[in-house]
Amino acid sequence: MFRRIEARVLNPLLGKQIEPPAYATDGSAAMDLRACIEEPVTLQPGGRTLVKTGIAINMMDPGLVAIVASRSGLSLKHGVRVAQGIGVIDADYHGEIGVILANDGQEPYVIQAGERIAQLMFQPVIQVALQYVDQFSTETERGEGGFGSTGKS
């Protein structure tokens, strides 16, 4: 069904006994990351905080990137999301994974130890060699149009 690749994981770095990331079902695209914290952290409305996960990964395939994404339920119910949209973990980063969370909700949100705070997904990477030119050789229907230039239909 899915291509399986190995990654080494150090868990837990902070000495907390939290569940390691795992796929909930055979069809899951991402694993849940959990808060590896000593005590609850209160995230105020409009606030941001770095939450440690207690794990580090060593990707066996340098052609991968790990993506940290928001959990949809946490975002919908409480307005808590990954602050920068997504987090990017390069294949050569071997430190502990931290998740920057933001609270867009109206109420403070208390993050509990072991709580599922984000999702971790692995994707292949293509590195592009940029070529600088004075102009492009072909025109397109869109040209330089952007931000709604193709209409609303």
| Residue 59: C-alpha distances to residues 19, 67, 69 (Å) | 20, 13, 18
- 73 assigned binding-site residue: yes
Give a yes or no: residue 41 inside a domain. yes
Give a yes or no: residue 37 inside a domain. yes
Give a yes or no: residue 80 inside a domain. yes
> Which two three-digit tokens encode residue 80?
């808590």
This prediction has a pTM of: 0.83
- What is the domain range of residue 54? 6-124
The DSSP symbol for 73 reads H
pLDDT digits (tens, 9 = 90+) for 79-115: 999 999 999 999 999 888 999 999 999 999 999 999 9
- 88 assigned binding-site residue: yes
| Residue 120: C-alpha distances to residues 44, 60, 97 (Å) | 24, 16, 10
Give a yes or no: residue 38 inside a domain. yes
- 116 assigned binding-site residue: no
How many folded domains does the chain comprise?
1
> Looking at per-residue confidence, does 136 or 82 come out higher?
82
What CATH code is carried by the domain that includes residue 120? 2.70.40.10
Give a yes or no: residue 136 inside a domain. no
